[in-house]
Amino acid sequence: MRLSIVCVGGKMPAWVDAGVGEYEMRLPRELNLQWKEIPLARRGRDSKPEQLRQAEGEQILKAIPESDRVIALDVQGKSWSTPELAQQLSGWQMSGDNYSLVIGGPDGLAPQCLERAERRWSLGPLTLPHPLVRIVLAEQLYRAWTITVNHPYHRD
C-alpha cells in the first residue's frame, strides 16, 4: 500500500520537516508515506478565495493517480478517534489499494477535490496552521499503526 499526502504549500520550516521526519522514520517500510506538495496559487490584491481554491484544486487532482482512493482532510468531515483511525488504517492496508490524503491550502479545498474524495476526515473543530497539520497527521498515522501491531506507544 502506498499512502500519499497531497498538500498545498511550499517549503516548510525546519521544525516541521524534523517533526514529520521523526514519525516517518518510525513507520515500517510497508507503510510507505509519500508527500506531494502543490504550490500555493498566486495570491494578489484582487485574488478571490474561490479562484484560489479552484486553481489549487486542479493541481491537487492532477497529483492524485486515477486509481487512488481519496480521503480529504476537511474541518466539516467526520472526526475519528485514534482507535477508529487505526481501524481505518488497517482496512486501507488490507484492501491492497493506494490512498491519497488531501490537505488544502489556506482557503480550503475546492469542491471538485471534496467530490473526488470517498471520505472527509476532520482532525477536529480547531483551526490548525497548515505546517502543524502535517506533523499531527504524521504522528496520528504512526500512532494508529502502533495500535494495529500492539506496540506500546499508544496508551488508552
The three cell numbers of residue 112 are 471538485
49 and 34 Cβ atoms separated by less than 8 Å: no
Q: Is 126 annotated as a binding residue?
A: yes
Q: Is 44 annotated as a binding residue?
A: no
Q: Is 57 annotated as a binding residue?
A: no
Q: Is 127 annotated as a binding residue?
A: yes
The three cell numbers of residue 101 are 490524503
Q: Is 89 annotated as a binding residue?
A: no
Q: Is 125 annotated as a binding residue?
A: yes
20 and 138 Cβ atoms separated by less than 8 Å: yes
Q: Which residue has the cell 467526520?
A: 78
Q: Is 114 annotated as a binding residue?
A: no
Sheet bearing 99-103, strands edge to edge:
32-38, 2-8, 99-103, 69-79, 119-122
The three cell numbers of residue 96 are 491492497
Q: Is 128 annotated as a binding residue?
A: yes
Annotated binding site: 73, 104, 123-128
Annotated binding site for S-adenosyl-L-methionine: 73, 104, 123-128
